[in-house]
Amino acid sequence: MWPYLKFGLPVLVLAALIVLFARGLFLNPTVVSSPLIGKPQPGFSLPRLEGDGQEPFTQTEWQGQVALVNFWGSWCVACRDEHPVLMQFAAEHAVPLYGLDYKDERAVAEDMLSKQGNPYSDIAFDASGDVAINWGVYGAPETFLLDRHGVIRYKYIGPLTPELIRNDLLPRIRSLEGER
């Protein structure tokens, strides 16, 4: 027994470590799962990026609908990369997509949308970034999927891609739309 163990044990330990470290290599440590998933959306009241500035933008905007809320900013390079993907999504699908522009400058954001198009149904403007913190946002862009009752069901951190929308986001949206 002992001679087997003497040579077998180090090999086993080494194999276990290789598996452990290999797994570690393929994890993405920058994605932190949100504790807000399954919780009601945090409420807010913000001005709109566009419009007359009369009526505040609140979460009641998408009440009763399965909706996507995209936190972005014109300062965020990854958001600019994501922008054409959102444009395509808005053109192809009837799912309401709302924008939450945070820590931005109005003029720059408006300029970006006028040049590259506006994929959003409407955009809230969070100058201080307080609403973003309240939603647990730490790295733009972040996209939240809300069910009809305003419960956060899913969140994606980072720019959405056409593959991700097709393989992950759309099936989730369809299943939520099937819920009562």
Partner 1 sequence: MSRLLRAFTAVFLLAASVPVFGIDSQPPFPDAAEQARYEVLIHVFRCLVCQNETIADSDADLAADLRRQVHVMVAAGKSDAEIRSYLVDRYGNFVLYKPPVETSTWLLWGGPFLLLFAGLVVVVTVVKRRARMDETPPGDET
Contacts with partner 1 by CB under 8 A lie at 29-30, 32-36, 103, 129-130, 133-136, 138-139
Q: How far apart are CA 100 and CA 177, in angstroms?
A: 22
Closest by CA to 88, choosing from 143, 173, 165, 169, is 165
Question: Contact, 142 vs 51, CB < 8 A?
Answer: no
> Which of 9, 18 has the CB closer to partner 1?
9
Burial class of 163 by CB neighbour count within 10 A (0 to 12, 13 to 18, 19+) = exposed
> Which of 29, 178 has the CB closer to partner 1?
29
Question: Smallest gap, in angstroms, from Cβ of residue 51 to partner 1?
Answer: 26
Question: Smallest gap, in angstroms, from Cβ of residue 112 to partner 1?
Answer: 19
Question: Smallest gap, in angstroms, from Cβ of residue 169 to partner 1?
Answer: 22
Question: Smallest gap, in angstroms, from Cβ of residue 135 to partner 1?
Answer: 7
Q: Which two tokens stand for residue 162?
A: 């056409």
> Which of 117, 129 has the CB closer to partner 1?
129
Q: How far is CA 33 from CA 13, 30, 136, 139, 161, in A?
A: 31, 10, 10, 12, 19
Q: How far apart are CA 42 and CA 36, in angstroms?
A: 9
> Which of 90, 142 has the CB closer to partner 1?
142
Question: Smallest gap, in angstroms, from Cβ of residue 138 to partner 1?
Answer: 4
SS3 content of the chain, % helix, strand, coil (to 5): 45, 20, 35
> Which of 113, 131 has the CB closer to partner 1?
131
